Amino acid sequence: MKTRTALATLVGLALAQGATAQDDPKLRADNVPPEDRRGGTLVAGQHITVTHPIGTVASGMRNIAGAQLNAGLIRLNDDYEPTPYLATSWEFSDDGRAFSFELHPEARFHDGEDITCTDVAFSVKTSQENHPFKTMFTPVTDVTGGDSKSCTMMLDSEHPALLTALSPGLLPIIPEHVFNDGQDMQSHPRLTADVVGSGPFKLVEWDGNDLIRFERNDDFFIEGLPYLDEIVIDIVADPSTLALGLESGQYDMASLWSGDDIVAAEANPNLKVIDKGFEAIGSIPFIQMNLRHPNLEDVRVRQALAYGYDFDQYNSLVYAGQHRRQCGGIQSQSPFYNPDAECYEHDIEKARALLSDAGYEEGDLTIEVSTYPGQLQTAAEVLKQQWSKIGVNVDIDMHPDEVTMLSEMTAEDSDYQIGLVGLWNWGDPVIGVHRSYNCDNRKVGVAFSNMSWYCNEEVDALLAEAGAELDTEKRKALYFQATDLINEDVPVIYASNEVWYTRMQQDVQNPPDGVWGWMDSWAETWIDR
């Protein structure tokens, strides 16, 4: 409730008054290290390789490294409220079509060049031309201010998702004087070599398959930050090695996405495990259904499958009970999530009745699943067993990896039936939720588009209206209506709300546990050692 109430005032405040400069923009000002505890090296283990750290041109886990290297205009606090970062103050015009902000007077890139409106304009333009999330900055027509620190972003329509999109993970501010040389941004050599950033840490060593090393930026524009001298991110594909590395003390922190390792870590007195963080990512495993397939075009069949799904058993067997229930496409900790949304509670009789009404004869459905990560195989087996109780036999089609599976699911005239995939909300429904349901986002060959090939004009209209509505309460009401309609149509069964845990040594202070989790600045993290 606190989160939603706070966010309910977010846009209103920003519109009416604009944020004012704060003397101390730290988000963890209540836990500052003493002088003799500052410095040191934090070693973190993660299991996902990254191609480059520049989140302006692509999304994904690169933002973990990217948020250390580059700053954004704002940061979101634990209540999803924007707080000053590169932008010290801002305000919207009365009609919501102009967003004016002041850049920090001391903000400079790692090569000493001032960060100006030119760099912000270039970053936005680069994002518009390269980033897959087109909805983030489509309404932005211009950023004025030139080489000054007083900028204005011009919009051709109201855009309530704008502030979220200005987070470091979604719009890191990159140097125009480095990248604006005519080379293609997707293959620019400065993405990984001689990298110049705007954030609390400088890149010392880059190998996206192996190891990323940062050192503190002594000229960072926030006084006293960062606390650490060095961050090392060790990329290790094997989760067992990560777990053992943490237990042995080799790592201070390790990424973890639920399961038996969580249970083991929680039992270790030398470690602490937190389930806070990454809420804005909003990872939701989908049981995605292809509405083009004759077996699934009848909504009663899809509803029956939803009733046949037993979350408690699924969560227990697949995720060692570590996930949360999810009853809509907007993740359950978002302020736009409807807590009263109807969930399909497990009911075998109701499922059978619906199948009978639909004239569904006992037949086979096929689930597409990737062998990596391994828990998806277990998930498919559990679904097979659950749906057999309602009279639906399931074949499992195993793919060697997610790429192969998604290629098949998004092929032209794909006849896949059900696929196990995961989608992320990315902070605001406009950015990461609309894409799964918009009629015009049914795209061949594009992963994480509307892969159910779902189309409901009423839902489209509601989403479009919500995407442009500045009044938060009205916006919530629109998303609630859309969620209800989508839930009735069931193009997707929401398997769970995936909790991303962080395990760490007991002496790690201020771990990156904000709404963006590791994809936010670690400038305030320190080690009490």
Partner 1 sequence: MRQASKIAKRLAEAALLILAVIVFNFMLVHLAPGDVVDALSSGAFGDASEEVNARLREQLKLDEPVLVQLCAYIGNVLQGDFGYSPVAKAPVMDLILPRVAPTLLLAISSLAFAVVLGVAIGTYAARRPESGFSHSLTVFSLIGFAMPVFWTGLLLLIVFGVWLQWLPISGMVNLRLPRDATLIERALDVGHHLILPTVSLGVIFLASFSRLARASMLEVLQSDYVRTARAKGLPERTVLYKHALRNGLIPIVTILGMEFGVLLSGAILVETVFAWPGLGRLAFTSVLTRDTSVLLAILTLVSVTVILANALTDIVYRLIDPRLRVPEAT
Closest to partner 1 by CB, 63 vs 116, is 63
Contact flags string 236-255 toward partner 1, x per CB under 8 A: xxx-xx--xx-xxxx-----
H or E element that contains 212: strand 211-216
523 and 222 Cβ atoms separated by less than 8 Å: yes
371 near partner 1, judged by CB under 8 A: no
Nearest distance, CB of residue 515 and partner 1, angstroms: 19
Among positions 24, 219, 401, 458, the unique one binding partner 1 when judged by CB under 8 A: 401
CA distance 130 to 529: 43
Residues 6 or more apart from 349 whose CB is under 8 A from it? none
Question: Which region holds residue 278: left if phi is over 0, alpha if psi is between -120 and 50, else beta?
Answer: left
**CA-CA distance, 371 to 380, in Å (whole number)?**
10
Residue 202 touching partner 1 (CB under 8 A): no
Cα–Cα distance measured from residue 105 to residue 88, given in angstroms and rounded to the nearest whole number: 9
User: Could you tell me which stretch among 188-196, 347-355, 380-388, 520-528 binds partner 1 (CB under 8 A)?
Assistant: 188-196
What binding mask, one character per residue, do residues 416-455 give for partner 1 by CB under 8 A, x or -? Answer: ------x--------------------x-xxxx-------
Q: How far apart are CA 448 and CA 407, in angstroms?
A: 11
Work out whether 492 is an interface residue with partner 1 (CB under 8 A). no
Nearest distance in Å: CB 495, partner 1: 16
Which residues partner with 509 through β-bridges? 526
Phi, psi values for residue 361, rounded to 5°: -90, 150
Asked if residue 81 binds partner 1 (CB under 8 A), the reply is: no
What's the Cα-to-Cα distance from 116 to each of 106, 129, 146, 183, 510, rounded to whole Å? 11, 20, 7, 22, 30
Q: Closer CB to partner 1, residue 105 or residue 445?
A: 445
Interface with partner 1, residue 264, by CB under 8 A: no
Among 205-213, 300-308, 340-348, 493-501, the segment contacting partner 1 (CB under 8 A): 205-213
Nearest Cα neighbor of 505 from 35, 26, 40, 30 is 40
Cα torsion at 409, 414, 416, 420 (round to 10°)? Answer: 10
Q: How crowded is residue 147: how many other Cβ atoms within 10 Å of its Cβ?
A: 10
Smaller CB separation from partner 1, 93 or 506: 506
Alpha-carbon Rg for the chain in angstroms: 23
**3, 51, 366, 481: which one binds partner 1 (CB under 8 A):** 51
The residues, ordered by sequence, that sit 6+ positions from 506 with a Cβ below 8 Å of its Cβ are 270, 271, 272
Instruction: Report the DSSP beta bridge partners of residue 324.
Output: 497
One of 74, 166, 191, 301 touching partner 1 (CB under 8 A): 191
Near partner 1 in 290-349, by CB under 8 A: none
Name beta bridge partners: 424: 283
Q: How far is the CB of 522 from partner 1 (least distance, A)?
A: 16
User: Are residues 103 and 151 in contact, defined by beta-carbon separation less than 8 angstroms?
Assistant: yes
Based on the shown chain and the rule CB under 8 A, indicate whether residue 43 belongs to the binding site for partner 1: yes
CB 165 within 8 A of CB 131: no
Residue closer to partner 1, measured from CB, 131 or 159? 131
- Kindly state the smallest distance separating residue 444's Cβ from partner 1, in Å: 9
Q: Cα–Cα distance between 487 and 9 in angstroms, integer?
A: 28
Which residue, 284 or 354, has its beta carbon nearer to partner 1? 284
- Closest to partner 1 by CB, 77 or 138: 138
412 binds partner 1 (CB under 8 A): no
- Choose the binding region for partner 1 from 130-138, 314-322, 342-350, 351-359 (rule: CB under 8 A): 130-138
Among residues 404, 464, 465, 477, which is the contact residue for partner 1, using CB under 8 A?
404
Binding site for partner 1 (CB under 8 A): 41, 43, 48-52, 58-62, 130-134, 184, 186-189, 191-193, 207-211, 232, 234-238, 240-241, 244-245, 247-250, 372, 401-404, 406-408, 422, 443, 445-448
